[in-house]
């Protein structure tokens, strides 16, 4: 039971860390082009449509972080003290 709880906690922490890290990298690489944004503004609609998010990168990050957390808990990288008590 402890191993499952530690796996769940490490999976959540790794997923959060990867999300923050990917957002930070995307923010660093973003360079806005203001003149291009103003020229494209004329044809935009007045109403905003919500929805249509890209789900695949989030799923990929979740799978990677869960895999890392699984192997960390399997090898006992950080959890030897707590699992073997």
pLDDT tens by residue, 17-76? 888 998 899 999 988 887 777 777 667 677 777 766 666 787 788 888 888 877 777 776
Is residue 33 in some structural domain? no
Count of domains forming the chain = 1
Per the structure, the complete domain to which residue 75 belongs is given by 1-25+59-85
Distance CA 70, CA 9 (A): 11
For residue 61, the tally of other CB atoms under 10 A from its CB is 18
Is residue 14 in some structural domain? yes
pTM of the shown model = 0.47
- Let me know if 46 is exposed, middle or buried by CB neighbors in 10 A (0-12, 13-18, 19+): exposed
26 to 57, 58, 59, 77, 85: CA distances (angstroms):
13, 14, 17, 30, 42
Is residue 76 in some structural domain? yes
Is residue 1 in some structural domain? yes
Q: Give residue 9's pLDDT band: very low, low, confident or very high (50, 70, 90).
A: confident
Is residue 43 in some structural domain? no
Is residue 84 in some structural domain? yes
pLDDT at 13 over 80: yes
């Amino acid at each position: 039971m402890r191993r499952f709880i530690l796996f769940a906690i490490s999976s959540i922490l790794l997923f959060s860390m990867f999300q923050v890290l990917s957002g930070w990298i995307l923010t660093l690489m973003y360079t806005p082009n203001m003149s291009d944004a103003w020229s494209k503004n004329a044809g935009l609609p007045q109403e905003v449509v919500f929805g249509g998010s890209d789900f695949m990168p989030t799923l990929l990050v979740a799978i990677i972080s869960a895999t890392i957390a699984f192997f960390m808990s399997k090898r006992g990288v950080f959890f030897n003290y707590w699992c073997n008590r």
